[in-house]
Structure 1
Amino acid sequence: MDKKVMIRREVKSLLQKMSQAMYRERSACIVSQLTGRNMWKVAKCMGVTKAIFPEVDTVPLIEQAWCDEKEIALPRVHMRTKTMAFYVVTSWDQLEETKYGLLEPVVSKCRRVDEQAMDLMIVPGVAFTRKGDRLGMGGGFYDRLLPAYRGTTVSLCFEEQLRRVLPTEDHDVKIDHVVVEGDESG
């Protein structure tokens, strides 16, 4: 079996043991770590997905961005081309569940924003290293987006998602910052 597939299964299995209450509590702590950092404070526009378990819950992050009067942009994926377009979202009613089970912007209700206009990109994933290596879900959407992105990248990470080493390939782009649960230095 492919090493990436094994790691994805292992991490998801570890995180499945977490209760929903614990998942929300731990996610909120990680989000609080990010929102206390300078990279958050100086960002005016940021990209983020509405996370799907086992990724760190981004609902508190999105709501904090709205409270802080920051622009928050969520992606709309294009499965045929394996690309994403980001749209500024100001309320939950601007999102819809797509056939892929994702909550994505309703294009007619939102303003498209160029990725380069975003100061901060919250990059999802299954596993990470402290050095910024990332193992995604396997679709390659962020692997296509990040090489041209010039802003700051950050990933949010439960302890179970942290690995000393991950298998990487030439197209894999390192994340600038990994905010690890319980680690104020990330």
Structure 2
Amino acid sequence: MVKTKKQLRAEIKDEILSLSEQSRLMLSADITENVVKMDEWIQSDTIGITISGEIEPNTLELIKEAWNSNKRVVVPKCHPATKTMTFHEITSFDQLEVVYFGLKEPIEALTKEVNQDEIQLLFVPGLYFTAKGYRLGHGGGYYDRYLEAYKGTTVALAFPIQFIDELPIESFDLPVNKIVTTTQVINCHE
């Protein structure tokens, strides 16, 4: 039986949460180590990245690495009324607020919006990934819409358990260019 996206989301969330917090942090540290060695990371001045939730590889250390390397860090602000998002530069975690579903987003009054064409490297979140770079997101479609016009490099961060042979792929689904795991950087090509 083919599983629905909803079933797949529930399955992988349970699987990730079955890992201890310490395991998730250790795996995240390995992923961060692999990211900072990438040419795309080294050459990028501005990175777009989400503030990770409990079931995602931790991005906070990667953000600190970016700041230590004098990179601009821009994080997404979702606009539910239009199902769109904008990215805003943050220079401190104090510029974030908790919004719906416990997500941390930039406080618009304290941050400056950054144009899409200024973001050279964009980290795209997901729950499941195929080796070809297709992903199962959280279901809001925000990234699918944002990626339609995005021209830079897209990268996903994934724990080893987040890989799956096949996903239900729709016409608007765009694969990421690379997936960084605890042990490797996968170049995703059709």
Question: Shorter chain as normaliser: what TM range?
Answer: over 0.9
Deviation at 1:2, TM superposition (A): 5.3
**2:112 aligns to what?**
111
**1:48 aligns to what?**
49
**2:167 aligns to what?**
166
Question: What is the CA–CA distance in structure 1 between the aligned matches of 2:93 and 2:7, rounded to whole Å?
Answer: 35
Question: What is the CA–CA distance in structure 1 between the aligned matches of 2:174 and 2:186, rounded to whole Å?
Answer: 21
CA deviations 1:67-122 (Å, max 9, x no partner) are: 11100000111111111111000011111112331111111111110111100000
Amino acid corresponding to residue 134 of structure 2 in structure 1: D
**2:84 aligns to what?**
83
Residue 151, structure 1, aligned to residue 152, structure 2: yes
CA deviations 1:130-178 (Å, max 9, x no partner) are: 1111110000000100010000000001011011221100000110101
**1:182 aligns to what?**
183
Amino acid corresponding to residue 67 of structure 2 in structure 1: W
Q: Which moved more, 1:18-27 or 1:144-153?
A: 18-27
**1:16 aligns to what?**
17
CA separation of 1:4 and 1:152: change in aligned 2, threshold 3 A: same
Question: What is the CA–CA distance in structure 2 between the aligned matches of 1:138 and 1:113, rounded to whole Å?
Answer: 24
Aligned residues: 186
Question: What is the CA–CA distance in structure 1 between the aligned matches of 2:46 and 2:99, rounded to whole Å?
Answer: 24
Question: What is the CA–CA distance in structure 2 between the aligned matches of 1:181 and 1:168, rounded to whole Å?
Answer: 25
Which of structure 1's runs of 4+ aligned residues deviate more than 6 A?
none
Question: What is the CA–CA distance in structure 2 between the aligned matches of 1:48 and 1:123, rounded to whole Å?
Answer: 7
List runs of 5+ in structure 2 lacking aligned partners: none
Deviation at 1:41, TM superposition (A): 0.3
Amino acid corresponding to residue 107 of structure 1 in structure 2: E
**1:97 aligns to what?**
98
Q: Is the 8 A contact 2:179 2:186 kept in 1?
A: no
Question: What is the CA–CA distance in structure 2 between the aligned matches of 1:169 and 1:61, rounded to whole Å?
Answer: 31
CA separation of 1:102 and 1:160: change in aligned 2, threshold 3 A: same
**1:36 aligns to what?**
37
CA deviations 1:19-71 (Å, max 9, x no partner) are: 11111111111111111110100011011110112111111111110111100
**2:6 aligns to what?**
5
Q: Secondary structure at the match of 2:100?
A: coil
**2:129 aligns to what?**
128
